[in-house]
Amino acid sequence: MDVLMIAPGYPDEMPLFCRGLSTFGGSVYGISDVPVGNLPEMTRRHLSGYLQTSMLNQEEAVVREVTAHWGDMTFDRVICLWEPGVVLAAKLRVALGVGGMSVDDAIAFRNKDIMKARVAAAGIRTPKHRGATTAAEVRAAAEEIGYPLIIKPIDGAGSMDTFRVDDAKVLDAALKRLTHIDHVNVEEFIEAEEFTFDTVCIGGEMQYFNVGFYRPRPLAARSNEWISPQTLCLRDVGSEWVKGGVQMGHDVLKAMNPGNAFTHMEWYRKSDGEVVFGEIAARPPGARTVDLMNYVSDIDLYMGYAEAELQGTFSLDVTRKYNAINIFKRAQGNGTIRRISGLENLGQRFGEHIVHVDLLPVGAPRRDWILTLISDGYVTIRHPDFEQACLIADAVSTDLQLYAS
């Protein structure tokens, strides 16, 4: 099969998806906005062709450029696993005559207002919400919805440029920080635990699912630098704790029509047990969560997705053996990493349960923790018992420290 892949080198997981597509018989042609020499080596090794564009965010111009460059080719798939390119991929399918997710469905996955309207129409509980393009519209929506509320980009990814607003004064401050955003979603704040429901689908039918959990909620983690955020993938996905969210995930997929896709949904569980839809994206989860899902079952979902996409089958044995947790670390101080403490002791205490360590080395400059959840590195642990897994993760959070100056 000839496969056109948007952004085959970014984010960090994309080279692994590119490898999977190539391994399962795809001739992968990439398009992105960086020179081919700047792509990761794994991506370059698995590409059959590449087109650099200087305007990846200008969809109509990219469509013209691709059709001029590859218009004589017959592509079998157009794939984008990077959220900002989902609508572009749908428009390229139309231009190249390729089946797959339609433009309307792609827009529904990207536009949070349209998304929530579609999900609510299927009878699924969603937060009260309104789209807004001006400060006056934001204030009117806040008046209608009431405090506390959340303001986020209508087509955002993760918790970037997302603000909790508890009163009119905080709203004014948030508006000053959102002047670079043209269209926002104003949404009821749900006081609850926050989970994910991640799937691989073939023709809209779920072949695999994962339930993840955030400790603490992403908004809290992004608001406090001292926190070591944790993302978990659960071994027990049939418990009462998550059963309602799993059922809701099935219902959301029917409403959203993902086709062949990796999807990432976020949902809430309130203290009274009510489950509430958050949002869904037609992409895998980020921040190395696919790796976590692999650690749960000792599988390779990069290959599993490629098999589903190109061959229409999913043959992985997804028996869940472990709870897996990523603990993301933020150095104390600013500048360059000078010292790392606690790692050797943690290794002695927890040994085989620490399965991956990827920390910035001494001498490396700190990353901007606001812009990347991975921050200054992370540690992956796993354990078959949920409580033990959390205890180990909390020890990593408190006992492992990076210092910068």
The percent of residues in the chain predicted with pLDDT above 70, rounded, is 99
Domain ranges of the chain: 2-100, 128-188, 192-321, 322-405
Burial of 57 (0-12, 13-18, 19+ CB in 10 A): exposed
> Please, what's the b/e burial string for 207-231 (b: 16 or more CB within 10 A of its CB; e: otherwise)?
bbbbbbbbbebbbebbeeeebbbbb
Partners of 187 in the β-ladder: 129, 150
pLDDT at 34 over 90: yes
Q: Write out pLDDT tens, residues 61-107.
A: 999 999 999 988 999 999 999 999 999 999 999 999 999 999 999 99
CA distance 272 to 135: 34
Give 213 or 218, the one with higher predicted confidence.
213
- At residue 155 the predicted structure's pLDDT band, cuts being 50, 70 and 90, is low
Q: How far is CA 35 from each of CA 54, 82, 171, 213, 298, rounded to the nearest angstrom? A: 10, 18, 42, 37, 35
The predicted model scores a pTM of 0.91
Residue 248's nearest CA partner among 282, 218, 211, 222 is 211
Hey, what amino acid is at 392? I
How far is Cα 20 from Cα 112, in angstroms, rounded to an integer? 30
CB 327 within 8 A of CB 42: no
| Mean pLDDT (whole number) for 186-212 | 94
- The string of pLDDT tens digits covering residues 327-339 is 999 999 999 999 9
Task: Report the pLDDT value the prediction gives residue 160, as an integer from 0 to 100.
Answer: 65
Pick the CATH number of 192-321 from 3.40.50.1100, 3.20.20.70, 3.30.470.20, 3.40.50.261: 3.30.470.20
Q: What is the mean pLDDT of residues 276-300?
A: 96
Structural contact between residues 167 and 223, judged by C-beta atoms closer than 8 angstroms: no
What pLDDT, on a 0 to 100 scale, did the predictor assign at position 158? 58
- pLDDT at position 202: 97
Closest C-alpha among 9, 6, 7, 17 to residue 308: 17
Identify the band that residue 353 occupies on the pLDDT scale cut at 50, 70 and 90. Answer: very high
pLDDT score of 250 more than 70 = yes
> How high is the pLDDT of residue 396?
98
pLDDT at 181 over 80: no
Average pLDDT over residues 283-307: 97
* pLDDT tens, position by position, 134-143: 888 888 888 8
What is the pLDDT averaged over residues 294-306? 98
- Which comes out higher in pLDDT, residue 181 or 94? 94
The domain made up of 2-100 is a member of CATH 3.40.50.20: yes
Q: Which fold has domain 128-188?
A: Dna Ligase; domain 1 (3.30.1490)
Distance (Å) of CA 3 to CA 29, 35, 109, 290, 315: 6, 20, 22, 22, 21
Quote the pLDDT of residue 153.
82
